[in-house]
Structure 1
Amino acid sequence: MIKNIELIIKPRTAAVLMTYQCTAACDECCFSCSPHLTGTALTYDKIKSFLDQVSEISSVKIVVFSGGECFLDFELLKKCIQYATQLGLLTRCVSNGFWAKNLEQARKKMHTLKSVGLHEMNFSTGDSHQQFVPVDYVLNGTIASVEENLYTCIAVETNDSKTFTADDFKNHPLYMKYLASTSKEKLVKVMPATWVSFHTDNVYDFNQKYQYDPNELGCEGMFDTVSLEARGDVVGCCGLTSNDIEELHLGKMSDNKLDEMLAIHQSDFLKIWIFVDGPKQVMEQVAEWVKEEVPFYAHKCFYCAALYNNPTFLKAIQENYLTVKEDVLSRFISKSVAFNMVGE
């Protein structure tokens, strides 16, 4: 929207959405992944090109392989992890655990990936995921992962409508037998993950502890992560609604240089404003300009999508941004200095 400063934020994380195909078809998947989305996978050459350019950004320390389901093409995943490791990058995988049908299979997969450099493993589970992947599989994967001394995080779908909880995971017989009160348990983090609706006909309730904290200042995700998604687009944010915001898609990896795309991304005033104050706070200011009420969203990414997909709001920002520009840019410089220092 407004292009007026040079790239100063140093991103710390890269992500590769290897495919939109998945063994599950969760009702509220942010990317609408499903088993039917065949032909959506990235090639090794595209991923390699992205990793080569990412490795030239000294602040990027880790690359996350996700999807869809990144384990669907296990040989490709293994090859990419090995290459990223050779470039000096740490690696993380995010999976639903469909491949961990028993401990023997899970141990074989985890040992293979650890041997080529995998550093961390993440799993997703909960009511929706368990319609397609039993939680036992996720436990098998978790056990095999920590046996390889990999830090392992399990995100559990959470809102007031969900019955399966993070405590249920930790009270599962497999967790109690293999992980509870053992030296390996310190490698496991089980955490609630806010599960939100992307459809108007499915409205969830959220108690206060699961809601977006209205006092949270800024959104570091706007500039902290750079992603390559399954269609070959470079995306300047890995947020839940990134595929619903055209402005976050910076261009095709095959047609542009990564550093140039990021420089343009970071010179957009609205993105700077969101980075500094967060999308809800930006929307509150814009709502004052247009005399509208701010709707409630349980997750900050929905405020961002609401901003970018409301022509009235975008027009108001164009017409009024000069009233806040000096203050926002001043705080952006201060915040970027602190942000970069933390990453060093």
Structure 2
Amino acid sequence: MKLTGLHLLLTYRCNFECDHCFLWGSPWQSGTMTLAQIREILKQAQYHPSIKSIYFEGGEPFLYYPILLKGIQLAAELGFETGIVSNGYWATSKEDALEWLRPFEGTLGSISVSSDLFHYNEVLSQQAQNAESAALELGIELSFISIAQPDDGSVETGVGQLPEGFSGIKYQGRAAAKLANRVEGQPWKSFTACPYEDLREPGRVHIDPFGQMHICQGISLGNIFETPINEICESYNAETHPITGALLNGGPAELAVRNGLSPEKNYADACHLCDWARRELRPQFSEILTPDQMYGEL
């Protein structure tokens, strides 16, 4: 497995608690990276020459601003492309947004700001607009992440109906618990492929504060604080892995059948079925389907 990017989940904590969040982000979540852990991750990334980019996400990474800032600076000093994903809560005015972003000038390559009706009471929030204006002035690339409401056709089969610039919901995590019942389900046996992740060569993986390396959120390939990234990549066999192997050979439906599960009749999308199956299988694969934070067990 050849990686090109690492997305660091700086924290599971978030000042928001959005219904669509597949990480169960909330003010009550626990788990935050230390600077020592970030340095260790960057050190390991240097030994994997195909890794070119380091992104900081959450939760909400700006909640731990000094650590986020230092992490970006350290990554940039080592020659990595850098990026941040944020909800932009801090951009209460353009002047304030400039103060938050100015220390990143010259080290931060890009920032993605979430803005939609899950985060704010308007699609393009004033915070998002303030962040965009400040980023433009500082020469930092900024883009928006907007997730459509279930009524806008965010099931897989309705992606073509989504408003321009919007992405559909993935019904996993809190979205599976809160939103799946708002869409018409499809027969569980129809979900015979993973539509979102390249499980053989993912390119990028997520690393959380506990060192878990996620090929998809909640499916860990190993703990990098126990086994280095290079070794995890070298030993990973997608076909024989107990979770990805099933997903590759028949999607979430195969994951359920192979493990003797009895799904309900219909599910909102492939992620919804996969989320349900993985929850059922956690006792059996506790070192893979981890940590509790990914499954809403706060």
Could you tell me the TM-score, scaled by structure 2's length? 0.73
| Mapping for residues 44-63 of structure 1, pairs under 5 Å | 44-63=35-54
| Mapping for residues 322-333 of structure 1, pairs under 5 Å | none
Cα deviation, residue 60, structure 1: 1.4
Tell me the distance in 2 between the aligned counterparts of 1:254 and 1:289: 30
Q: Deviations over 1:289-322 (max 9, x none)?
A: 97978965455434443454556xx9xxxxxxxx
Does residue 128 (structure 1) correspond to residue 98 (structure 2)? The answer is: no
Q: Deviations over 1:113-140 (max 9, x none)?
A: 133x111111112222116998111111
Tell me the distance in 2 between the aligned counterparts of 1:15 and 1:121: 13
Tell me the distance in 1 between the aligned counterparts of 2:126 and 2:166: 17
Does residue 95 (structure 1) correspond to residue 73 (structure 2)? The answer is: no
Does residue 250 (structure 1) correspond to residue 225 (structure 2)? The answer is: no
1:33 paired residue number: 25
Cα deviation, residue 221, structure 1: 5.3
Tell me the distance in 1 between the aligned counterparts of 2:105 and 2:131: 13
Q: Deviations over 1:46-65 (max 9, x none)?
A: 01101110122111111110
Q: Counterpart of 2:49 in 1: which secondary structure?
A: coil
- Describe the shift of the 1:206–1:94 C-alpha distance in structure 2 as closer, same or farther (beyond 3 A): farther
1:262 paired residue number: 233
Q: Counterpart of 2:105 in 1: which secondary structure?
A: helix
1:149 paired residue number: 139
2:141 partner letter: Y
Tell me the distance in 1 between the aligned counterparts of 2:150 and 2:207: 33
| Mapping for residues 1-344 of structure 1, pairs under 5 Å | 9-37=1-29, 40-115=31-106, 117-130=107-120, 135-161=125-151, 190-194=165-169, 196=171, 197-199=175-177, 203-205=181-183, 219-220=197-198, 223-230=202-209, 232-237=210-215, 239=216, 242-243=217-218, 245=219, 248-251=220-223, 253-266=224-237, 268-270=240-242, 273=245, 279-280=251-252, 283=253, 287=257, 296-310=266-280
Q: Is the 8 A contact 1:25 1:32 kept in 2?
A: yes
Q: Counterpart of 1:262 in 2: which secondary structure?
A: helix
Aligned length: 266
2:290 paired residue number: none
The structure richer in helix per residue is 1
Q: Which runs of 5+ in 1 are unaligned?
A: 1-8, 164-169, 171-188, 315-344
Q: Counterpart of 1:54 in 2: which secondary structure?
A: helix
Q: Counterpart of 1:161 in 2: which secondary structure?
A: helix
Tell me the distance in 1 between the aligned counterparts of 2:85 and 2:274: 24
Q: Deviations over 1:22-79 (max 9, x none)?
A: 11111332222212335x2110000110111012211111111011110112111111
Identity within the alignment, %: 21
- Describe the shift of the 1:102–1:206 C-alpha distance in structure 2 as closer, same or farther (beyond 3 A): farther
1:198 partner letter: A
Q: Deviations over 1:68-125 (max 9, x none)?
A: 110112111111011111122111100000100000111222232133x111111112
- Describe the shift of the 1:221–1:60 C-alpha distance in structure 2 as closer, same or farther (beyond 3 A): farther
Q: Counterpart of 1:63 in 2: which secondary structure?
A: strand
If you compute each CA radius of gyration, which structure gives the higher value, 1 or 2? 1
1:110 partner letter: L
Tell me the distance in 1 between the aligned counterparts of 2:149 and 2:92: 27
Q: Is the 8 A contact 2:246 2:258 kept in 1?
A: no
Cα deviation, residue 153, structure 1: 2.2
2:293 paired residue number: none
Could you tell me the TM-score, scaled by structure 1's length? 0.64
Instruction: Select between 55-64 and 299-308 the one with higher mean Cα deviation.
Output: 299-308
